[in-house]
Amino acid sequence: MKSYLLLIPFLFFFLNACGSSESKVDVIESDAHYKLGIEFAQYNLYQNSIDEFDLAIKYNPDNFLAHNKKGLVLFGMKKYDEAKNEFEKTLSIKPDHVQTYVNLGMVYYMKNDLDKAKSLWQDAITKKENDNDSKANNNLGNLHKDAKEYPQAIEYYKKALAQEANNSTYLNNLGDTYRLMGDLDKAEEIFKKSLNVDPKGMMTFFNLGMVYKERKQYADAIMAFNGSLKVNPFFLEAFYHIADTHLLQNDKASAKAVIDQGLKLDPNNTRFKEILSRTKAS
């Protein structure tokens, strides 16, 4: 009986020791797993990345950066509900983490809850003074651009560029908005500036091609569209507009040759089939 009674306090001591070990915070170990998670994500090893972020969180439940990065990986995997949970956990730990408001807004944008996305991006802008709100401003510009509210879109893009003057994405968005408004000279000027910043801007080449196409500068348009294909040889929209530009010049043979290239990449593309039928029309 005595040996049994002595065993009971020993078991309590052992269990308590195990429990305290499991809940112990180890910031250094957490940071090591966090950095490894980022490295795996850079090599597109997404599940490995998530596993490392989980370990980072295990060793330090308050590692809000690990929650945020895990959310970004899940977002890239199109697991929007899981990403949303991670971003919300980030904000529960660090309510003033501006980038997470931007990220969470992107989740709602992809779920087509535009009002919620807009609200979160506006929160990101007002959350801190004198910080970089360029991403939130750019996203709000995109919302207005999608709604064809071009003057408002331009205002937000200019705010984004005021903080990152050489951001080629923001420049391209601004230029395309001027194009959609019909100010082709201004659009061309901005697209060329964007290409000076990023000579491999696929969408900038494409949008510059659209400017030239609308101006009926067909040779320049085809050259610009081909510029986007040099960056991304699988960009189907460029094939379509090169072919259409050839047709506008009544060059059916060149149009057909381009569409044949596009159909090799996407044999069931209905737009390619439609334009191909136009090359056969008398």
Mean pLDDT of 211-234: 98
CB neighbour list of residue 41: distance below 8 Å, 6 or more residues apart: 49, 69, 72, 73
pLDDT tens readout for residues 68-108 = 999 999 999 999 999 999 999 999 999 999 999 999 999 99
pLDDT of 59 reads: 97
Supply φ then ψ for residue 249, to 5 degrees.
-100, 10
- Residue ranges of domains in the chain: 233-282
Which of 1-5, 164-168, 185-189, 211-215 has the weakest average pLDDT? Answer: 1-5
pLDDT tens readout for residues 114-152 = 999 999 999 999 988 878 899 999 999 999 999 999 999
Show the tokens assigned to 186: 């201004």
Flag whether the pTM goes above 0.95.
no
**Which DSSP symbol is given to 6?**
H
pLDDT at 9 over 80: no
Nearest-5° Cα angle at 108, 135 to 99: 35
Mean pLDDT of 182-211: 97
CB neighbour list of residue 56: distance below 8 Å, 6 or more residues apart: 30, 31, 33, 34, 37, 63, 66
Read out DSSP for 109-162? HHTT-HHHHHHHHHHHHHHSSSS--HHHHHHHHHHHHHTT-HHHHHHHHHHHHH
Q: Strand locations in the chain, DSSP E? A: none
